[in-house]
Amino acid sequence: MFVLCAICLSIVIPSSAVNVLSVSEREISFNLHTNASFNLNSSEPVSENVTIWFGYTDGNNLYPLPNSTFVENGTLIDLTFTLAAKEAGHTTVIAKVTPPILIVKDAYIRVGVYKYDAWNVISSIIGWLYFIAWSVSFYPQIIENYKRKSVIGLNFDFLGLNLTGFIAYSVFNIGLKYVKEVQLEYHTVHPTGIIPVETNDVVFAVHAVFATLVTIFQCFIYERGDQLIAKSTVAILALVWSTAGVFLLLTALHVNKYTPWLTFLYFFSYVKLGVTLTKYIPQVVYNYQRKSTVGWSIGTVLFDVVGGLFSIGQMFITAYNFEDWYSFVGNFTKFGLGVASCTFDVIFMIQHFCLYRHNHLPSDESALIA
Ligand SMILES: *[C@@H]1O[C@H](CO)[C@@H](O)[C@H](O)[C@H]1NC(C)=O
Ligand SMILES: *[C@@H]1O[C@H](CO)[C@@H](O)[C@H](O)[C@H]1NC(C)=O
Ligand SMILES: *[C@@H]1O[C@H](CO)[C@@H](O)[C@H](O)[C@H]1NC(C)=O
Ligand SMILES: *[C@@H]1O[C@H](CO)[C@@H](O)[C@H](O)[C@H]1NC(C)=O
Ligand SMILES: *[C@@H]1O[C@H](CO)[C@@H](O)[C@H](O)[C@H]1NC(C)=O
């Protein structure tokens, strides 16, 4: 019986079926005035004469690579190609083999060509600066709470929304960055796509959850007056998390057969989106009602606005340097979120530095002290 199965298997899976064509790099970027090269390998010698050629995505800005490279039966593919560009831009180069006897699904490379090295360096420095600014932005609030031994003035609805938002963002980032199953699904939807999550996105999100939990912990141990989280916020958060639970159940039961885990993760990215657009509203209203920003750290707001401006600035620099306003439009959500956050920050600054600058204590609290 066992021998029979083994024979069946060896017939079903011919040994040549595992020859995989791969590229030395997934992404490459270089200055318009220079060239870059990449290597193409097969895992096994080819079992027939083949020709290798290349396809390009729309808006190809590269000089064409040799259209047909002949590889004789029995040789291992190990070829180096040099890329040169006519103009700045992004193109995905896809290797093809005729006859199609190799597995080529990973044989593509995303090529970015930029105009100026200096802008490229500035862009990556700005990337680090906004990562740092946003990560540090949690601490002025934590320090202020600690110094006052009070969280009066810090809105609990904001904290609840913020925690949900960053947990959702962490789930999304970790799933896409580390779960093989999710990545496979991502590549069925975007066959030549690059996973849009980097390690520092994961670090930022997980740290944000931690810092928000510390702030929430402070709400339990410090003076908080009669502050509570609003029933409507509790209802919204309960709805979000029970939807997540139902979604998880449906996913585990394979109701959506096509890309179950990816769809599940996109749900979390929409949660993060919704939270980012709404989380500051309760705090703005609360400051307005108290006619004071005492207890709401302006340091946090300043770091947040600096991070937001850097993030938006980096998008502009990248679009300009790569002459790629198309991907700027494609990234419109990120841009919109940055603008929305900065807008709220400006409202907070107006409240803090203009409207309520004389009200260091709200009337009822100063009455209490008097
Ligand atoms: C880049 O490649 C192009 C086309 O293959 C060639 O004409 C040019 O001399 C190369 N430039 C450099 C700097 O290697
Ligand atoms: C592919 O080519 C690179 C560079 O020539 C080499 O280092 C690597 O070992 C090759 N991989 C395979 C699977 O042959
Ligand atoms: C390729 O070469 C192998 C061994 O050298 C040979 O058995 C096979 O028939 C050849 N394939 C073709 C399509 O010629
Ligand atoms: C493969 O290429 C070699 C060298 O060009 C040629 O001699 C041979 O006839 C080719 N084989 C097939 C099956 O076309
Ligand atoms: C390139 O070569 C392939 C295979 O040899 C062929 O099918 C294709 O039409 C060629 N493309 C161009 C633009 O010459």
CB-ligand 1 contact for 84 (6 Å cutoff): yes
42 Cα–ligand 3 center, Å? 17
List the residue whose alpha carbon is closest to atom 7 of ligand 1.
84
Q: Kindly report the CA angle at 50 between 48 and 51, in degrees rounded to 5?
A: 175
Q: 173-193 in b/e burial notation, b at 16+ Cβ within 10 A?
A: bbbbbeeeebeebbbeeeebe
Q: How far apart are CA 367 and CA 370, in angstroms?
A: 5
Q: How far is CA 90 from CA 29, 192, 210, in A?
A: 9, 13, 37
21 Cα–ligand 4 center, Å? 21
> Partners of 92 in the beta sheet?
110
Q: Is 192 left (phi over 0), alpha (psi -120 to 50) or beta?
A: alpha
Q: Taking the C-alpha atoms of 23, 25, 26 and 28 in order, what is their torsion angle to the nearest 10 degrees? A: -130
Contact between residue 313 and residue 249 where contact means Cβ atoms under 8 Å apart: no
CB-ligand 5 contact for 51 (6 Å cutoff): yes
Contact between residue 42 and residue 177 where contact means Cβ atoms under 8 Å apart: no
72 Cα–ligand 4 center, Å? 7
Contact between residue 62 and residue 56 where contact means Cβ atoms under 8 Å apart: yes
Domain with CATH 2.60.40.10 in the chain: 21-114
CB-ligand 1 contact for 37 (6 Å cutoff): no
User: What are φ and ψ of residue 147, in 5° steps?
Assistant: -65, -40
- What single DSSP character describes residue 230? -
CB-ligand 1 contact for 35 (6 Å cutoff): yes
Ligand 3, residue 47: give the atom nearest the CA: 1
Q: How far apart are CA 248 and CA 268, in angstroms?
A: 11
Q: How far apart are CA 185 and CA 139, in angstroms?
A: 38
Helix (H) or strand (E) holding 263: helix 260-278
264 Cα–ligand 1 center, Å? 46
pLDDT at position 361 is 56
67 Cα–ligand 5 center, Å? 6
- What single DSSP character describes residue 103? B
Q: Which ligand is nearest to the CA of 95?
A: 5
What is the mean pLDDT, run by run of 10 residues, along the chain of 370 residues? 46 60 92 94 91 90 90 92 93 92 90 94 94 95 94 94 95 93 88 84 95 95 89 94 92 77 90 93 94 92 95 91 81 83 95 86 48
Q: Which ligand is nearest to the CA of 46?
A: 3
Decide the pairing of beta strands 27-31 and 108-114. Answer: parallel
Q: Which ligand is nearest to the CA of 71?
A: 4
Q: How far apart are CA 297 and CA 360, in angstroms?
A: 12
Which residues lie closer than 8 Å to 252 by C-beta, 6 or more apart? Answer: none
CATH 3.40.50.300 fits 21-114, yes or no: no
Ligand 5, residue 51: give the atom nearest the CA: 5
How many Cβ atoms are within 10 Å of 364's Cβ, its own excluded? Answer: 9
pTM, full prediction: 0.82
Pocket of ligand 4 (CB under 6 A): 49, 72-73
User: What are φ and ψ of residue 361, in 5° steps?
Assistant: -130, 140
Q: Please name the residue that has the structure tokens 């009455």.
A: 367
Q: Please name the residue that has the structure tokens 């709404």.
A: 278
49 Cα–ligand 3 center, Å? 9
Ligand 4, residue 48: give the atom nearest the CA: 13
List the residue whose alpha carbon is closest to atom 7 of ligand 3.
47
CA-based torsion, 83, 89, 90, 95: positive or negative:
negative
Ligand 5, residue 98: give the atom nearest the CA: 4
pLDDT at position 67 is 86
pLDDT at position 253 is 84
Q: How far apart are CA 307 and CA 311, in angstroms?
A: 6
46 Cα–ligand 2 center, Å? 15
48 Cα–ligand 3 center, Å? 6
Which residues lie closer than 8 Å to 337 by C-beta, 6 or more apart? Answer: 273, 276, 277
What SS3 class is residue 149? coil
Mutate to test the pocket of ligand 2, among 39, 76, 79 (most ligand atoms within 8 A of CB): 39
How many Cβ atoms are within 10 Å of 270's Cβ, its own excluded? Answer: 12
